[in-house]
Amino acid sequence: MKRKTPKISTMKLEVVVEALSNISKYKCRPGWRGDFCDQCEPYPGCKHGYCNGSSWQCICDTNWGGILCDQVIQTPLNQFGTDIQP
């Protein structure tokens, strides 16, 4: 017995294509971004920091500290002549 290939109407195919193209237009929950809402966002106001898999973290970059990573941490390297500009 020969199997019949299902026919997809052009209209149904257009609906599927449009739905797939709109995936990135969905609104993510607060603290998340990206086409699939799978990229974290740092805490609002985080100056020199980032998040690492959890939303609204503020993990400070090297030589930065404080809740919002907006304070320069003095180290022997930047204490004597090499200033880090905020």
CA distance 7 to 47: 55
Domains and CATH numbers, the chain: 30-86 (2.10.25.10)
- Structural contact between residues 69 and 49, judged by C-beta atoms closer than 8 angstroms: yes
User: pTM for the whole thing?
Assistant: 0.58
CA distance 24 to 33: 10
37-85: pLDDT as tens digits: 999 999 999 999 999 999 999 999 999 999 999 999 987 766 555 555 5
8-27: pLDDT as tens digits: 566 666 665 566 665 556 78
